[in-house]
A and B are shown apart, each in its own frame.
Chain A
Amino acid sequence: MRGRSFRLLALVAVAGLVLAACGSDDGGGTPPAASDGGATEPVDIAGTTLTVSNWDAYMPKSVIKDFEEETGVSVEYAIHTTNEDIMGKLTGANGTGFDLVFVSGPFVQALAHLGWAAEIDHAQIPNIGSLDAEATELPFDPGNVHSVPYTWGTTGICYRSDLVPETPTSWDVFHTAPAELQDKMTMLGTDRWLLQPALLSLGYSVNTTDAAQIDEAKQWTMDAKENLLAFDDTTFYSKLVSGEASLVQAWDGWCEYGRAEDPKNIDFVIPDEGSDLWSDTMVVLESSENKAAAYAFIDYILRPEVGKQIVEFTLYKMPNAEVMAAVDPKIVEDFPTLAISPAELFEQETQTDLGEEGTILWSEAATEIKA
């Protein structure tokens, strides 16, 4: 009685398996073993594999392709969605599996404490000298011992000038929410940025580990939540473009993604209370067996003509005056956050690691806010 229908299923299954067989012509899957390169003397990196993890769409593919062509290194380019994502991956693999990872400042400290971040051999990165002075003394890694800044910027308010009557000047806007912004705002949802509007508005440090201050900021944010459309880290700019939201907490570069689609109406402002200075950095892992190629990659990225492509693609600033000077002036004019100077950025408080107790307090606050 069941014969025929099972035959039907058999066919479906066979079709699926044939499909699978077609796709699996190379038995790949095991991570390619990186050929070892001695750490001291310069080595021929051609033919080696470099495993990198970066945020999605945070580097033009052409840059990677050109690097591969020039050096003969093949780049295994993995992507992560958040700092937490890559940290989780590294924790799961005891700090192995990658040669080079892109993470934000506070996570450099964590990686260094865990012993997973290699000490950067500046001699192997000649272009490191072209970094802005400010970028060599970022509080999470003074002297660039474990990290080389890739991009940097600040967090502000990105809004639709046609839907918001007055230019927002204070982080308090999320808390007080004029009627027309009710359910029309989003805030960033990852732990480190979630409490920031509250802390800045209340006049506290963005790196506070004081339980009372965190508690107060938590309450502030829970009140603000009532006014929000959502917490959103990744799609807030498209919500602005579609009109789902009129005002969002945003990283400068991602506000520009919105401006790229609606140049007339989308604007960015750093509120009067100030904001943070964040930096996404490149960290070479201690476990890497191909550090030479990792250094070569970092050095390549610091070249003005390469950095220029990155800035024009990501619309984020690089902490490198030569690079910023090379960027097409028309692009800087269209996307004015690119013109924020290093000195201006440096006035903001830099995010640093919160330590054990601080991390727990922050993540409990975040859970409570979102629950």
Chain B
Amino acid sequence: MAVRRSGYLRVHLGLLYAFLYLPIVVLVVLSFNASGLPTTWGGFSLQWYRDLVHNEELIAAIRNSLIVAGFVTAISTVLGTLLAIGLQRTVRSRVLDSVLFLPAVIPDIVLAIGLLSFFNLLRFTLGLQTIVIAHVVFCMIFVAAIVRTRLGYFDRRIEEAAADLGAGPVTTFLLVTLPAILPGVIAGALVAFTLSIDEFVIAFFNSGPTSVTFPIRVYAMIRFGVTPVINAVAAIVMAVSLVTIVVAMRLTRPKGERSLSIGPVT
């Protein structure tokens, strides 16, 4: 029975992958197209990659994005992890949970203009710092959600045992709790980094004159036409994520039962 249905499902999944990858493949192919137009093939060329290397604005934007994502990851991982433990252990109200989770489900445009109005009212100088503040608001919530699912599997008797053996709360946290939930913390950090580095709307409204991030720059490039340099950027971004993931999978060769739990889990 399972065989018959999985035959259909297999085709479905194949088509889904085609849908997901067709646009990316097209961009990668076009990134080597000597002709600047996406509609005609003008022969193989590395011209757009050369242009990319010399595109100072784009490089500066990538640097800004990495700075922002780095800070956002660090801050939201700490805040989110503490929040997860705090919610799991000291709060019995489900309501607080859902209320705290709001920044993750509110459309980004609302958060973007709310923060802009707020910064404007307080005469905050807009810049990378305001983007970091804004990103932490929702990234920390995702971290908290992910760490919490991990905490759900954690047996607190281990902590009690540590306490019985004379460990203080901080020692217990660092030596017992943290190692146990570390995979969740790392997964949370990863998600925070991914969300921050690609975030456009909030950054667009809350960036300062010289704090252009990668998505803001890309948006401007797209708005101003079919720039083949974008294709080269897409190809590189894709290659970097592909290589990273493949290497990671090689290093953790499959043996037994396992599962993947990234992304928001309810």
Q: Do chains A and B touch in the complex (CB under 8 A)?
A: yes
Nearest residue (CB) in B for A3 is B183
List the one stretch of B21-29, B61-69, B134-142, B164-172 in contact with chain A: B61-69
List the one stretch of B11-19, B44-52, B92-100, B223-231 in contact with chain A: B223-231
Nearest residue (CB) in A for B67 is A24
* C-alpha gap A99/B186 in the complex (Å): 43
Given contacts A1-B259, A31-B209, contact A19 B66 (CB under 8 A): yes
- Tell me the B232-266 residues at the A interface (CB within 8 Å): 240, 244-245, 247-249, 251-252, 254-255, 257-262
B255: A residues at CB distance < 8 A:
4
B64: A residues at CB distance < 8 A:
29
Inter-subunit contact A29/B67 (CB<8 Å): yes
A7 contacts B by Cβ under 8 Å = yes
B10 contacts A by Cβ under 8 Å = no
B68: A residues at CB distance < 8 A:
29
- Tell me the B140-181 residues at the A interface (CB within 8 Å): 150, 153
* C-alpha gap A9/B210 in the complex (Å): 33
B182: A residues at CB distance < 8 A:
10
Inter-subunit contact B210/A76 (CB<8 Å): yes
Inter-subunit contact A12/B210 (CB<8 Å): no
B126: A residues at CB distance < 8 A:
89, 92-93, 97
A16: B residues at CB distance < 8 A:
69, 190, 193-194, 244
Inter-subunit contact A11/B209 (CB<8 Å): no
Inter-subunit contact A92/B125 (CB<8 Å): no
A237: B residues at CB distance < 8 A:
225
* C-alpha gap A91/B205 in the complex (Å): 11
Given contacts A5-B258, A81-B224, A97-B209, contact A92 B119 (CB under 8 A): yes
B129 contacts A by Cβ under 8 Å = yes
Contact of B224 among A2, A31, A57 (CB under 8 A): A57
B4 contacts A by Cβ under 8 Å = no
Contact of B66 among A4, A23, A91, A96 (CB under 8 A): A23
Interface residues of B (CB under 8 A from A): 37, 39, 57, 62-64, 66-70, 73, 116, 119-120, 123, 125-129, 150, 153, 182-184, 186-187, 189-190, 193-194, 205-206, 208-212, 219-221, 223-226, 240, 244-245, 247-249, 251-252, 254-255, 257-262
- Can you sample 23 A-B contacts with CB below 8 Å? A1-B259, A2-B183, A5-B261, A7-B183, A8-B249, A9-B248, A10-B183, A11-B244, A11-B251, A12-B190, A12-B245, A13-B189, A17-B70, A21-B70, A29-B68, A29-B129, A30-B128, A30-B129, A51-B210, A89-B209, A92-B119, A94-B123, A235-B224
Interface residues of A (CB under 8 A from B): 1-13, 15-17, 19-21, 23-24, 27-32, 51, 53, 56-57, 76, 78-79, 81, 88-89, 91-94, 96-98, 234-235, 237-238, 241-242
Closest 8 A/B residue pairs (Cβ)? A6-B183, A29-B128, A23-B66, A13-B190, A20-B70, A11-B248, A235-B225, A10-B186
